[in-house]
Structure 1
């Protein structure tokens, strides 16, 4: 089983905040801790929103 891990431990809080903001933007009720009750589609939409925001920020800074 592979697990996601934060390469820079100091960034963990910032990543969690970013994830919660992305979930709110797409209307997913993400909570701190266990979220196993969410569907794959809901989880995927959060991840997709995070990638979208990262790409937008990168393009803005070109």
Structure 2
């Protein structure tokens, strides 16, 4: 569980650095909830509140990829910088 909390903390920090959110971790969850419906709508994918087992894995991946692309790329950059700085020590 600690790994998941650390990963969520990193996602939250990156989202805050990128200006997606401006307050605490609760806002991050709200950001994710709002964004997935906005992205689905932009892609023409019907996403319902609650269960969405009828959508294809391809469409689910398109939604997640659009949300996570910028956040995920910056997470990788931050992890590489962290690793490089610790390798020097």
How far did residue 51 of structure 1 move?
2.7
Alignment RMSD (CA, Å): 2.6
Moved over 6 A (4+): none
What are the superposed Cα offsets for residues 11-59 of structure 1, whole Å, 9 maximum, x if unpaired? 222210011111111111011100001110110110112134x36xx7x
Between Structure 1 and Structure 2, which shows a larger proportion of helix residues? 2
Matched, 1:43 2:60: yes
- TM-score, structure 1 as length reference: 0.63
Alignment of 1:17-56 (within 5 A): 17-52=34-69, 54=70
Distance 1:38 1:47 in 2: 13
Show the counterpart of 2:86: none
Question: What stretches of structure 1 of length at least 5 have no aligned partner?
Answer: none
